[in-house]
Amino acid sequence: MGNRYPAPPVVWPVMLQRWHEISFFHWSCDPALLQPRLPPGLQLDTFDAKAWISLTPFLLTGLRPPLFPHALGLVFPEMNVRTYVVGPKGPGIWFFSLDVARSIAVLGARAIYRLPYYWAKMRVEIAAEENFYFSDRGRGGGAKATIRIGKEGTIAEQSPLDIFLTARFRLYSTFRGRLITAEVSHPPWQLNRLRVVDFEENVRKVMRVEFPSQDFLAHHSEGVDTKIGRPRRASAQK
């Protein structure tokens, strides 16, 4: 790649999974509107003085512990809403919500990583030229998304903003009022252009992160195989 791509960390995984047929939708916003939504110890990571919020639907496949074959792993749709931060251990992601269609995944991820997972009715349909993503938490007025995208050509050279928004190898969360973190490792994303066919969502609004934006950016990828490390206390760097 012409632009510098950060090197993925070496991770001793406690969990393996593939983020398959993922789409990224990104909106910029005023950092002053978003910073109050973050816990102490995290600062927004900005690009050209703008903060970014992303919605990412995909099919999660092969969720399993190390040494188990991919074919024995769990498979279910997922969609998350996130922003980009800098914490005591460096750049990472802060999640406002993660919708999944497997209750066991909700319980496990909430217990281990303290992430804001929600169960939802979800569907992902994958075809050669189009993908369809659907998610609905229900319960009257709950978060819902209906998205259809057309797949287009490969992005031959990713821009610095493309890399900023997708090359992230750490997550942050909180446990008993303290920051925790976990490393995530995967190969570099191969990003593709996409065409938005249908797009309706209120997930950002429900999570109170729908802000005025003059920017919208979208990507598609066939996906990456991912290693996720164990959560640790995010103590300050020395």
| pLDDT tens readout for residues 96-137 | 999 999 877 666 667 778 899 999 999 999 999 999 999 999
- What is the pLDDT at residue 17? 94
- What's the CA angle centered on 19, arms 125 and 82, to 5 degrees? 100
pLDDT at 207 over 80: yes
pLDDT tier at 223, thresholds 50, 70, 90: very high
**Which of 128-153 are b and which e, b meaning 16 or more Cβ less than 10 Å from the residue's Cβ?**
eeebbbbbebeeeebbbbebbbebee
| pLDDT tens readout for residues 5-48 | 899 999 999 999 999 999 999 999 999 999 999 999 999 999 99
User: Which residues are paired to 74 by β-bridges?
Assistant: 63
Residue pair 28/50 in contact by the 8 Å Cβ criterion: yes
Q: Which residues contact 187 (CB under 8 A, 6 or more apart)?
A: 8, 224, 225
- What is the pLDDT at residue 113? 81
Token output for 195: 């065409």
Beta strand spans in the chain (E): 15-29, 43-44, 51-64, 74-87, 90-100, 117-119, 121-126, 130-136, 144-154, 170-175, 178-185, 192-201, 216-228, 232-233
In the chain, what percentage of residues exceed pLDDT 70?
94
| pLDDT tens readout for residues 172-182 | 999 988 999 99
In the chain, what percentage of residues exceed pLDDT 90?
84
pLDDT at 169 over 60: yes
Max mean pLDDT range (63-77, 101-115, 124-138, 140-154) = 124-138
Token output for 231: 């959560």
Fill in the DSSP letter of residue 81: E
Residue pair 135/145 in contact by the 8 Å Cβ criterion: yes
SS3 98: strand
Fill in the DSSP letter of residue 47: B
pLDDT at 238 over 60: no
- What's the CA angle centered on 61, arms 56 and 62, to 5 degrees? 140
pTM tops 0.85: yes
Question: Considering Cα of 137, then 27, then 62, then 16, what sign does the dihedral take?
Answer: negative
- Given the DSSP bridges, would you call strands 216-228 and 121-126 parallel, antiparallel or unpaired? unpaired
CATH number of 15-233: 2.40.400.10
- What is the pLDDT at residue 139? 76
CA pair distance 3, 155, nearest whole angstrom: 12
